[in-house]
Structure 1
Amino acid sequence: MKMKLITIIGFLFFAWTIFGQQEAQFTQYYSNPYLFNPASGGLKKIIDIDLGYRRQWIGLSGAPQSFYATAHTEISFDKRNTVLNEHNSEDESIYATPTNSVGKNKHVVGGKVFADQIGPFQKINVMASYAYHLRFTQKTMLSFGVNAGYSNFGINPNKVILLDNDDYKYENFLSRNSNQSIFDLGAGMTFYGKEFQFGISSSQLLNNNLKLGEVETSAHFSSHFFLYGMYNFNLEDTKLSVEPHFMTQFASGAPASVNIGARLHYDKRYWVNVSYRLQDAIAFGVGLNFAKNLHLGYSYDVAIGKVQRPNNYVHEISLGLMFGSKSSKEKDLQDDEMM
């Protein structure tokens, strides 16, 4: 019975691998590429903290949901290097979204926490990262990053529905530890300038096997690969800018996820987004900076693929905090002229 239960669990995990990426997929990847690339932390001269929540198939019990928290900053002994580059021109109490910081080599540290839940399955991932940013040309940078940490995959017994509530064999299985903790690694590289970034990264590099109840299964945590880019084009003589973006996510044994889209920014404070996930969904999003150093984003996906879902909408919300000292526009212009 125990082996049968393990086989079923392994099969379900395998199905999760085949029909969906094991790693969480977020529509607002363009706002926080550090989610999947340790080399993308610390691009701006700020301490950046972000929270996010994604919920699919609203109204269905056990529907997939994901949560994350990330934080990263440059290690600096010069206080002038930790700044919010400029303020909104019309409201000095609101910070504008700063551009990427280029021109100087830098060290960046960070960390992130993920929590995913699909039915009775849950996965918690805690990672710490380090990245080195190297000046590539006068106006571009190349960064290399690694992250390491632990993941815990297991079954939430409160989410399991049994035909027989007195199933002693299932209780025996739980007593033998229905969770697995593993050490894992990730790595990435980012090429960027003030208004653009392109990156490649990978997670779950160790390809750990799934082991539950002290029994090895045929399933494993596959390596995931990410390729992405974005470029913010300022529209001359306006407060508008357009930022096309793309991201491809793929893993062995699972269909690739291809995303393309564009954001329209206004005054470095507001944005709207439209994107398309190949053969899967169209996504819409809005965001704004508010309360001095906070920024908020909301998006929803409308399913258009062949896979039928109980609810065609996916909701995602993000909240970020920017910390840093104030700098004047005059100083920023002087820094640009010195580069």
Structure 2
Amino acid sequence: MKIFLKLFFCKKPVLITGWILTCFTMEASAQYFGNSSQVSDPFESQYFTNRYLANPSMAGIDSGLMLHAAYRQQYSGMSGAPVTGVFSADDNPGKRVGLGLIAYNDKAGLINRTRFAITYAYHLPLNNQEQNLHFGISAAFAHTSLDTKGIIGDPTDPAIAQFNERKNNFEMDYGMAYTDPHITLQASLFNILGYVSKFGNNTADVSTFYAAAAYKFTLEGTVNSLEPEVAFQGVKNYNSILNIGANLIMLQHILNLTAMVGTQGNVSLGTGVTYKNKVGLQLFYLSQTTKLRNYTNGNFEIALSLFLARKK
């Protein structure tokens, strides 16, 4: 039994036998929001704009409600190229509690991945009220399916139905952080159930942990602040990824410029504007990794943020 599938970002149909597709029906593969098949390309907005995307403990870290939506197009010009979208909402209702919600969707060729997560965070002030410890945990349901409309062949193939009828995967992420007016330290573990069960044992190229350290220099004049950051991401069955960059804020916190350099040989550049500390628009471009640079363009990302009842 053979079917033709336009799988991932191939321009031509790929011949796949039924037994290969059946392998995909194996239960329990660990997935992480912000990660598609391209785990080396997390959303650029997770570094400075919305750290909650990479760390559950960042939910509700600021007073008021924050809404964030981002869209990313990868490998421009290639048929079936990955397209990813994410929406997050987090709030601080009081009593040191933070609540959050993340909805994530990634489409690459015929493969469609969705993930919904809810987050509970606790923010603990230290002796100095400007120093805080943050703890957060997310519970999520993830599902992967095939787009039957793109199949060239027999869409009634039982292997396709078995793939799409798989149960949702239940996952949990844990994060913690330390913050003060200058320092931000973060650490996250993704799909912690995978450390104590068989979830994800046969899955490669998914994120296992994330760590970051940043220091904000407060300045006077046209430039308001400069925040360098180092981020380290673990990937299963792959080399860990190190990113180093900085975020520059100027013109009374209206304009910002960001840049990140990664060990995969890619560079990201971003710019954004914020209106009255309530509405923010960010644009990012991530160059392709060294090995793919001769074949395709980089990634483009746009992010919109809305801040409600934020205290100055």
TM-score range, shorter-chain basis? 0.7 to 0.9
Equivalent residue letter for 1:27: E
State the alpha-carbon separation in 2 of the partners of residues 301 and 158 from structure 1.
31
Q: Which of structures 1 and 2 has the bigger CA Rg?
A: 1
> Which residue among 102, 111, 123 is the counterpart of 1:121?
111
1:253 and 2:244 matched: no
Number of the residue aligned with 1:311: 296
Number of the residue aligned with 2:209: 225
State the alpha-carbon separation in 1 of the partners of residues 52 and 303 from structure 2.
14
> Which residue among 272, 278, 283 is the counterpart of 1:293?
278
Give the SS at the match of 1:6. Answer: helix
Does the C-alpha gap of structure 1 residues 159 and 258 become closer, same or farther in structure 2, counting only changes over 3 Å?
farther
Which stretches in structure 1 are left out of the alignment for 5+ residues?
77-104, 211-216, 328-339
1:148 and 2:139 matched: yes
C-alpha deviation, 1:24, in angstroms: 6.2
Does the C-alpha gap of structure 1 residues 56 and 174 become closer, same or farther in structure 2, counting only changes over 3 Å?
same
State the alpha-carbon separation in 1 of the partners of residues 282 and 202 from structure 2.
39
C-alpha deviation, 1:221, in angstroms: 8.6
State the alpha-carbon separation in 2 of the partners of residues 195 and 302 from structure 1.
30
Contact 1:302 1:314 in 2 (8 A): yes
> Which residue among 135, 156, 159 is the counterpart of 1:173?
159
Looking at both structures, which has the greater relative contact order when contacts are Cα pairs under 8 Å and sequence separation is at least 6?
Answer: 1
Moved more, 274-283 or 181-190: 274-283
Does the C-alpha gap of structure 1 residues 136 and 312 become closer, same or farther in structure 2, counting only changes over 3 Å?
same
Give the SS at the match of 1:176. Answer: helix
Contact 2:205 2:238 in 1 (8 A): no
1:132 and 2:149 matched: no
Alignment of 1:271-290 (within 5 A): 271-290=256-275
Number of the residue aligned with 2:14: none
Q: Kindly, what percent of the aligned residue pairs are identical?
A: 23
1:66 and 2:84 matched: yes
Contact 1:205 1:223 in 2 (8 A): no
After TM superposition, the score normalised by the length of structure 1 is: 0.75
Equivalent residue letter for 1:315: F
Number of the residue aligned with 1:57: 75
Equivalent residue letter for 2:190: S
Contact 1:57 1:309 in 2 (8 A): no
After TM superposition, the score normalised by the length of structure 2 is: 0.81
Which stretches in structure 2 are left out of the alignment for 5+ residues?
2-17, 31-35
Number of the residue aligned with 2:7: none
State the alpha-carbon separation in 1 of the partners of residues 223 and 135 from structure 2.
33
Does the C-alpha gap of structure 1 residues 123 and 22 become closer, same or farther in structure 2, counting only changes over 3 Å?
farther
Q: How many pairs does the alignment contain?
A: 282
Cα deviation, 1:70-118, whole Å, max 9, x if unaligned, reads: 1111122xxxxxxxxxxxxxxxxxxxxxxxxxxxx61111110111122
Equivalent residue letter for 2:241: S
Greater helix proportion? 1
Alignment of 1:1-339 (within 5 A): 1=1, 2-7=18-23, 22=39, 25-29=42-46, 30-76=48-94, 106-138=96-128, 139-160=130-151, 162=152, 165=153, 167=154, 171-180=157-166, 181-207=168-194, 209=199, 218-219=202-203, 224-266=208-250, 267-290=252-275, 293-308=278-293, 310-324=295-309
Contact 1:36 1:202 in 2 (8 A): no
Number of the residue aligned with 1:336: none
State the alpha-carbon separation in 2 of the partners of residues 106 and 28 from structure 1.
25
C-alpha deviation, 1:238, in angstroms: 4.9
Contact 2:81 2:108 in 1 (8 A): yes
